Amino acid sequence: MYHIINILNHSFYYTLANVLAQSVNFLMLPFYTRMVSVEQVGIIVILTSLFGFLNIIFQQGIGSAAGRFYFTFKRKLERVNYLNSLTSYLLLSGIVLVVLGVWVSKYLGDWLGIDSTLIAITIVIAYLSAIINFYQTLLVTKELSKSFLVSKLWQAGVTVLFIVVSMFFYQASASGKIAGELMATSIVALGSLLMLFYHHSIRPIFNSFSHVLKSISFGLPVQLAGFGWWGMVNIDRFFLNHFVGISSVALYSVVYAVALLLNLFSMGFNQAWSIYYFKNYENEQFRQDNRTIVREYFGWLSFLALSVWLFSREAIEIMGGALYLGNIRLVPWIILGVFLYGLYFIPSRKLFVESRTWTLVAITSVGLGVNVLANLFLVPKYGMMGAAYATAIAYATSLLTTLVITKSWNWLKDLAIPALFFGACLVVFYGIYLLADYLGLGINLSVRALAWILFLGLALKFKVINKKVIVGIIGKLNNVQNA
């Protein structure tokens, strides 16, 4: 139990930090939908998706390599030399990529139907963000979860401030948003470099090029796998833009944002879990402890999935307003897809610790291929609903492929009881929903809130989620508030 509490302690800070980091695109979404037109929201979404792709290019999997190999060096000096070399490579290679990217931006702008200047600025932002991400990855590697939270809080706060000021006083459009983001990212990137140089004693010098080559070799397949995951998350926006129009991108993305809470939790948990996995994989007690971790993770992920579904109507109204409520029928399929993505982390840890990163490329390639084909056939016929179907199909394919390749079927037996519990709750809730809809009664917020309280009580009663975790989270929130 100590290990699961320790991981959840770290994952609390990582999840909270990820919420703050995503606040620009998640918590700021209500601001965008009320400040600019649906078409401008669509452009912001496309640029955000493009940024995700570019950020993977600039990071080059170096952060994953640092987390994997950092602990293989036993002496502090060896670790510092290793990080020196990675920092130098990241900075220099990024400049080359920026020059190439700005040259390509005109052609990319013509293809997407977006101002090439916005794309060029997005490329620069992606380079600066790669510097920030490398610094934050170092904090995760050293298990400095509180420092990681502070860094993300600083990044989110500065970014929100500059975007709001830019859109109010410069231009209430996608251009205003990008201009504010550029100024904010420049400031945070400079601060991250100063922290690397002065607080972590990192210097931009090549101490060992062999370390860089080893990290690139490890990071390349991680980067390619990242492209696959980026495609599964974002490719539907580009199909919607092509077949339906830029407005559909905005309408779809607001609904998609409702399920983001699941993604934030799984990412935060995975950050803490990965470090524990790398450090303890060869310990005798590891297998039993990891089974406990898997059960707890599955329980909370399932609980969050059903909770988000119950209150999806209110979430959409907050995110975009009544204009976006017509697409609430997309929610169950999108939640299902994000939930399956969260489950993917369970069997995939083994591939990382065994350095089978090229296998990840195969898995994500299969998922991306299925997603592209599904969007190609479903979006022209069903529009946004087709994109939601494609998301669920792609994530299910990736999870199944991972299970087959890793032969990690044992953990499924441990999840039989919590899976039955959450499955029964889902059937009951959905049955009540269908009955109320058939009778024309509807289910108001108070009824759903009572159902959620009953749901939480039963989950704690049957121990499918751990009460100690809730107590710990309340304590952490008090600590953050007092700080």
Which residue, 414, 430, 465, sits at the end of a domain?
414
Torsion of CA 82, 223, 117, 177, to 10 degrees: -90
Same domain, 172 and 31: yes
Look up the pTM and report it: 0.75
Query: Which of 394, 414, 434 corresponds to the end of one domain?
Result: 414
> Do 120 and 260 reside in the same domain of the chain?
yes
Q: What is the mean pLDDT of residues 204-225?
A: 73
Average pLDDT over residues 253-269: 80
Q: How many CB atoms lie within 10 A of CB 159?
A: 23
Range of the domain at 447: 415-483
And the tokens for 376? Answer: 């190609």
What is the DSSP secondary structure assignment for residue 311, as one 8-state letter?
A: T
Q: Could you give the CA distance from residue 196 to residue 189 in angstroms, rounded to a whole number?
A: 11
Does 443 lie in the same domain as 325? no
Instruction: Look at the chain and report how many structural domains it folds into.
Output: 2
| Among the listed residues 56, 361, 363, 68, the one whose alpha carbon sits nearest the alpha carbon of residue 214 | 68
Task: Take residue 101 and report the two structure tokens written for it.
Answer: 């990217």
Please tell me whether residues 104 and 229 are part of one structural domain: yes
Residues 105 and 51 in one domain: yes
Helix 62-69 × helix 209-243 angle, to 10° = 140
Residue (of 370, 369, 366) closest to 393 by Cα position: 370
102-to-38, 56, 189, 231 alpha-carbon distances in Å = 27, 17, 20, 22
pLDDT band, very low/low/confident/very high, at 389 (cuts 50, 70, 90): very high
**Which amino acid would we find at residue 292?**
T
Q: What is the C-alpha separation between 475 and 11, in angstroms, rounded?
A: 14
> Both 228 and 103 in a single domain?
yes
* Pair (318, 461) in one structural domain: no
Give ∠ CA 338-342-343 in degrees, rounded to 5: 120
pLDDT of residue 13: 62
Average of per-residue pLDDT across 473-481: 44
Residues 6+ apart with CB under 8 A from 74: none
Q: State pLDDT tens for residues 296-328.
A: 888 888 888 888 888 888 888 888 877 788 788
Is it the case that residue 47 has pLDDT exceeding 80?
yes
Please tell me the predicted confidence (pLDDT) of residue 141. Answer: 73
Tens of pLDDT along 326-365?
A: 788 888 899 999 999 888 888 887 777 676 767 878 888 8
pLDDT of residue 474: 42
- The verdict on 116 and 49 lying in the same domain is yes
Give percent of the chain above pLDDT 70: 82
Q: What's the pLDDT score for residue 275?
A: 66
Across 5-9, 11-15, 107-111, 445-449, least confident range: 5-9
Q: 390 with 374: CB under 8 angstroms? A: yes
Stretch among 81-85, 173-177, 415-419, 437-441 having the lowest mean pLDDT = 437-441
What does the pLDDT read at residue 153? Answer: 82
Helix axes 209-243, 76-112, angle to 10 degrees: 30
Q: How many CB atoms lie within 10 A of CB 169?
A: 10
| pLDDT score of 390 more than 90 | yes
In terms of average pLDDT, the best of 196-210, 447-461, 467-481 is 447-461
pLDDT tens-digit series, residues 392-402: 999 999 889 88
- CA 437, CA 47: separation in Å to the nearest integer? 38
213 and 244 belong to one structural domain? yes
Instruction: Say whether both 443 and 332 belong to one domain.
Output: no
Angle between the N-to-C axes of helices 312-319 and 331-353, in degrees from 0 to 180, rounded to the nearest 10: 90
Chain segment 107-163, per-residue pLDDT in tens: 888 888 888 999 999 999 999 999 998 888 888 777 677 787 888 888 888 998 999
Q: How confident is the model at residue 421 (pLDDT cuts 50, 70, 90)?
A: confident
**How confident is the prediction for the chain on average, in pLDDT?**
80
* Final residue of a structural domain among 399, 414, 429: 414
Q: What does the pLDDT look like over 274-283, one tens digit per residue? A: 666 766 766 7
> 289 and 238 in one domain?
yes
In terms of domains, do 444 and 303 share one?
no
Q: What is the mean pLDDT of residues 80-86?
A: 76
